[in-house]
Structures are given as C-alpha cells and as structure tokens.
Amino acid sequence: MTKFSDLALDPRVLDAVAEAGYETPTPIQAQAIPPALEGRDVLGIAQTGTGKTASFVLPIITRLSQGRARARMPRSLVLAPTRELAAQVAESFDKYAKNTKFTKALLIGGVSFGDQDKAIDRGVDVLIATPGRLLDHHERGKLLLTGVEIMVVDEADRMLDMGFIPDIERIFQLTPARKQTLFFSATMAPEIERITKAFLKDPAKVEVARQATTSTTIEQKLVKFTPTRRDRAFAEKRAALRALIRAEADTLTNAIIFCNRKMDVDVVAKSLKAHGFHAAPIHGDLDQSVRTRTLDSFREGSLTLLVASDVAARGLDIPAVSHVFNFDVPSHPEDYVHRIGRTGRAGRLGKAFTLATPADDKYLGAIESLVKMAIPAGELPEGALDDASDRPEAARGGRGASSGRPGAGRGGSRSRSSHTREDRAEPVAVADEAESEDVVVATPAPRPTRDQRPAPRGEDRQPARDTARDTARESARESARESVRDPVREGGRSGERGNDRPNDRERHRSDRSDRGERVVGLGDHMPDFLTRSFRLTEPATPDPAEGDAPDA
Ligand code: AMP
C-alpha cells in the first residue's frame, strides 16, 4: 500500500502530513498526487469526504515551494463554490504548509475588500476564492491572473448547480493557457464534461468510487408518518423531530438537521429554540459573519443542533457529528448521500434519521434506488405528536399563525405579499409569539442596508458597495438553489400557504410567456412575404419561383 513517504512530496509537507496524523493516502490522494506533481492536468471524480482537498493542496505546496510570488499575481488559484468551502480549503493550506513560507489569500464575499487587497498586493502563492469575488477583484484592476501556474476547480458539479459555470469559463480565459489544471467534480454532467474538454489538456483521469452511500458506520432509519391533516403536516413534523431528538438523547452529542428550503431552516431552528433546544440556522441568506460564528460554535461543541440547507452544509468537514436528521426528504437523491455522510465520518458511528410523509414516496424511491437498499424503517417515539397542538393553527389567532410561518394565512393578500417577499430573500413581518411554538415565526433573512444595495452603474468600483454586490450575488446563487420548489410537496402544503402557492404564480408566468411566443392574428404560419425586406427605391421584381411576390 502506498504511503505518503512514497510520494515525491516536499519533506516539509510530509512532516506536516505526519503531524496531522495521516500516514496512508486515501485512494484519490494516491492516484492524483503523482500526476499532479509531474505537472499534468488532473480530472478527479470524487466527492467530498474522500480526502480530495489534500490531493491538490499537497502537490501545490510542493511544486510552488521554490520561487516567490509577485505583487498582485498569484501563482496558483483554487476556486470553490461557497465561502465555507473556500475557507475550509484555506485551513487545509495552513495545515500542510505550516513548515514552509508558502503564502495564501482568501477572497470570499462578506469580507472587506481592503484587507483582501492588501494580501494580494503583497503577493501570494495561492489565492483561494469564490468565482464571483475573484472576478470582482479582477474587474477592479487589483488582480492579475497571468501569473497563475496551477489552477484548481473544486466541486465543479456544485458550481454548475449554483450557476457559476460562465464565471469559471471566464476565469479560465483570464489565466495562461500553459498552466496546470486540477479539476474535481463528484459527477460528470454534460456541461462539466464540455468544460473539461475545452480547458484540460490530456488530463490524468482519477476516479474514486462514489462515497460509501451506505457506510457501515451510519445507522439509517426512515421514520414515516401520515399527518393528521394536510395543513398540520409542518407542525407535526416539527413535533416528530423533537421527539426523535429526545429519544436519542443518550447518544446524541450534536446533530445537523436538514431542511429542503431556507425558510423552513429558519422556522425549524426557531421552533427548536422555543422548545429549549440549543439550535441555530445556517443557509445562504444569512450574513457571512453569522454563518461563520454558527459553524465555529457547532464545530467547537458549544452549539448542539445545526439546522441547515444543503448548499450551506454540503462539503463541510465537521469530523464528529453524531446524528443527522432529514426534516425533509431531499428531492435530489444524491443530497441524501451528502447529508447522511455528515455523520459516521472517520470510522465513528453515526445515526441518520429521515422523516417522511406519504407525499415523499416518489423521492424515497429515487433515493433507495441510488443507495441500492431500502432504508430500514424506524418508529416514531410514543406520543411523538402529542405536543403538536390539536388546535387548528388558524384558530389560534396571532400574526401569521396558520402554519407557523410568515404570512401563511389562507388566501389573504397579506399572505401573498409575505411569501413573495420571502422568496426574494427580503425580511417579512416577524410574529414571534414564543408562548406557542407553532406561531414562532421569524425570517432573519437580512435586508440589504442602504449601503449594501447594489450600486448604481458607474459607482460599483467602490469597495463597500462591491462587498455588498458580491455578497448579494453569492447569496442569490445559493438562494436560487435553496429556493428550488417541489410542486408535488408544495401542493401538499397548499393549506398552509393559502393562495400563495408558487404553482399558481408559475402557471400565470408560463401562461404569459406562452402568449408572448404566439404570432398574434396569424396563427403559427407566417406568410413568406412578411419576412422579406421592402425596397423603396426600385419596384420589386417578381420572383417566378416564389409565386406571390410582395407587392411593394
Ligand atoms: P476532504 O474530502 O478533502 O474534505 O477530506 C475529508 C476528511 O478526510 C478531512 O477531515 C481530512 O482531514 C481527512 N483526511 C484527508 N486525508 C486523509 C488521510 N490520508 N487519511 C485520513 N484522513 C484524511
């Protein structure tokens, strides 16, 4: 079996690896490090959790350990889809380059441009960035990418999900053609394949098996229940979640609770807090400083329950998570794998519970065929739903009381406007009635302050505004993914959302676009003469082949 010492890594890097406690490279490391050290392009098909970060970090430090960085011209570039992942990669560089003079800068949204500019001005060996923020720095003339010798694209499939592919293509074009590219993706969607064909030169293709979807260290349980009423489903799921958490108290040290949508992340976190649990939300609409603080306290153990969206939590390396709860069954089956893979890491035991209602059957089918097993059935603890009040929520009064969510009254205009605003990640009226958990409602989506709103044209070179613009852009991309709606389940919650179902709005929108595409008054067939140009100076010559020539 290959050992790290068999790889031609810089001795100082080898020391750091040993100090980190690693002796044997993971399969992706064993396969990717040798060609990367030779200077070849690498196409790595591997998911997070396989050790892929070190498979590019170690060769970069080794290859760039000689030479010096020039001001504003980073020697290598790592692109990551989210700020948290970028920060995690930066930590990895700190860990493995600690015995060298290797320098780095991290360019992510939500951090002031000034400090980042200073770091780049000094010259760095590696620049770790999210694509939007990188392009903003480049557009401001503060950064030259012509000195990039090695470029890494990490989590390319996630970049695709978040709409970053055009940015990635642009960044490729701004870097020298002769550079080395290390490209990592969990899957090879056609769009990803196209990019790799366009920008990688004869890459060494390394592929590690999909993450152990049914890792033996993870005990999975599917807890199915049928809500007493459709409009009670959300409240009863929250009660079921609380009961499951309480039932696991003996072994639960900490847990990540996944919701499909960020607004549910907020409500579930608030609800848990109101019931005395130590919970906090994390999703793409939250301010970066809040996200960082929340993750730090979860990592260090002062926060027990992290309620998360897929985008915010995917790929994060939090070594010791005892439990994962899927508050919602994910619509993308691979998200199930990512979610449960947050627990049972590094040989530890973990438990993953998935709450499901009959509306989830279709998604469960897709998950079970992906993981090639039926998820073992679990039971709801006795009396689990007892503390989901029997009273219809609408009857309790209070603002937005019908579902425990903002503006969820049946059909009223207030309901509609609240939801619409929420979709745009703007704040809604807060109805915080802590005495009753089902009306605990707050959507702490930050409203941009005056300074944070996108700058008018021509003013966007001002750092403060750029920070906000970039933050808003990144958040919008994360939000776009987090707001993906599921028509089947939306229908199932129609009672909760009143008339504000996205389906209705989407239908209106598509009706409009249908109308726009029609040729009004002429049906689908446009007479040929309408497409011809008219010559006003000379009489048109009839074309015998066309029959009816235009009569100008
Ligand atoms: P990654 O896939 O890069 O997010 O890495 C997942 C986890 O594996 C991180 O906690 C790494 O610190 C850890 N790791 C990386 N390389 C090794 C290794 N060779 N042996 C054991 N664990 C590793």
pLDDT digits (tens, 9 = 90+) for 206-254: 998 655 455 667 899 999 999 999 889 999 999 999 999 999 999 999 9
Pocket of ligand 1 (CB under 6 A): 22, 24-26, 29, 48-54, 317, 319
Tell me what the mean pLDDT of segment 538-545 comes to. Answer: 38
User: DSSP for 277-339?
Assistant: --EEEE-TTS-HHHHHHHHHHHHHTS--EEEE-HHHHTT---S---EEEESS--SSHHHHHHH
Measured distance CA(403)–CA(270) in Å, rounded:
14
Residues 312 and 341 grouped into a single domain = yes
Confidence (pLDDT) at 457: 29
Confidence of residue 110 (pLDDT cuts 50, 70, 90): confident
Residue 366 lies in a domain: yes
Sort strands 218-224 and 255-258 into parallel, antiparallel or unpaired: unpaired
Same domain, 260 and 135: no
CA nearest ligand 1 atom 15, residue: 51
Task: Say if strands 76-79 and 218-224 run parallel, antiparallel, or are unpaired.
Answer: unpaired
The arithmetic mean of pLDDT across residues 191-214, rounded, is 84
pLDDT at 146 over 90: yes
Asked if 63 contacts 37 with a C-beta cutoff of 8 angstroms, the reply is: yes
Structural domain count of the chain? 3
Q: Looking at residues 371-384, what average pLDDT do you find?
A: 89
Q: Give a yes or no: residue 306 inside a domain.
A: yes
With 60 as the cut, is the pLDDT of residue 437 above it?
A: no
Confidence of residue 95 (pLDDT cuts 50, 70, 90): very high
Tens of pLDDT, residues 249-300: 999 999 999 999 989 999 999 999 999 999 999 988 888 888 889 999 999 9
Cα 275 to Cα 290, 392, 398, 436, distances in angstroms: 22, 20, 19, 9
Q: Per-residue pLDDT for 453 more than 50? A: no
My answer on whether 64 and 199 are in the same domain is yes
Q: 26 CA to middle of ligand 1, Å?
A: 8
What CATH number is attached to the domain comprising 341? Answer: 3.40.50.300
Token pair belonging to 204:
């060494």
Q: Report pLDDT for 433.
A: 29
From the CA of 52, give the closest atom in ligand 1: 3
Lowest mean per-residue pLDDT among 9-13, 158-162, 185-189, 454-458: 454-458
Q: Are 258 and 310 a contacting pair, CB within 8 Å?
A: yes
Q: To the nearest whole number, what is the mean pLDDT of the chain?
A: 75
Q: How far is the CA of 30 from the centre of ligand 1 (A)?
A: 12
Q: For residue 472, name the pLDDT band (cuts at 50, 70, 90).
A: low
Dist. CA 97 → ligand 1 center (Å): 16
Same domain, 361 and 234: yes
Question: Taking the chain, what is the end-to-end CA distance rounded to the nearest angstrom?
Answer: 83
**Sheet strands (E) in 154-267:** 180-185, 204-207, 218-224, 255-258
- Both structure tokens of 267: 């409500």
- Classify residue 321: in a domain, yes or no: yes
Q: Is the pLDDT of residue 168 over 60?
A: yes
Residues 42 and 183 in one domain: yes
Give yes or no: residues 36 and 109 share one domain: yes
Q: What is the mean pLDDT of residues 326-336?
A: 91
pLDDT value at position 209?
Answer: 67
Together in a domain, 193 and 228: no
The closest-lying atom of ligand 1 relative to the alpha carbon of residue 92 is 12
**Whether residues 18 and 149 fall in one domain:** yes
Is 411 within a domain?
A: no
Q: Are residues 149 and 225 in the same domain?
A: no
Give yes or no for a contact between 474 and 458, defined as CB atoms under 8 angstroms apart. no
Provide DSSP, 161-173.
HTT-HHHHHHHHH
Looking at the fold, whether 179 and 33 belong to one and the same domain comes out as yes
The answer to whether position 359 is within a domain reads: yes
What whole-number distance in Å separates Cα of residue 259 and Cα of residue 268?
Answer: 8
- Identify whether 21 is part of a domain: yes
Contact 74, 127 (CB under 8 A): yes
222 belongs to a structural domain: yes
Quickly tell me which residue has 């994360």 as its tokens.
478
User: What is the model's pTM?
Assistant: 0.61
> Which of 9, 19, 53, 338 has most ligand 1 atoms within 8 Å of its beta carbon, as the pocket-test mutant?
53
Q: Report the percent of the chain where pLDDT is more than 90.
A: 48
Q: Give the 3-state secondary structure percentages of the chain, helix then strand then coil, rounded to 5.
A: 45, 10, 45
- Distance from the alpha carbon of residue 256 to the mean position of ligand 1, in angstroms: 20
- Average pLDDT, stretch 333-362? 86
Pairwise CA distance, residues 242 & 384, whole Å: 8
- Give per-residue pLDDT as tens, 416-434: 333 322 222 222 222 332 2
**Kind plus residue range of the DSSP H or E element containing 127:** strand 126-129
Q: What is the pLDDT of residue 404?
A: 33
Q: How sure is the predictor about 477, in pLDDT bands with cuts at 50, 70 and 90?
A: low
**Quick one: what percent of the chain has pLDDT higher than 70?**
68
Judge if 309 and 453 occupy the same domain: no
Q: How confident is the model at residue 57 (pLDDT cuts 50, 70, 90)?
A: very high
pLDDT at 320: 84
Residue span of the structural domain in which 365 resides? 218-396
Residue 414 has pLDDT above 60, yes or no: no
At residue 193, φ and ψ (nearest 5 deg) are -60, -40
- From CA 350, how far away is CA 352, in angstroms rounded? 7
52 SS3 class: helix
Q: What single-letter amino acid sits at 245?
A: I
- pLDDT at residue 540 above 70? no
Residues 475, 385 share a domain: no
Give the residue, by CA position, lying nearest to ligand 1 atom 17.
51
Is 246 within a domain? yes
> How far is 393 from 213, CA to CA, in rounded Å?
39
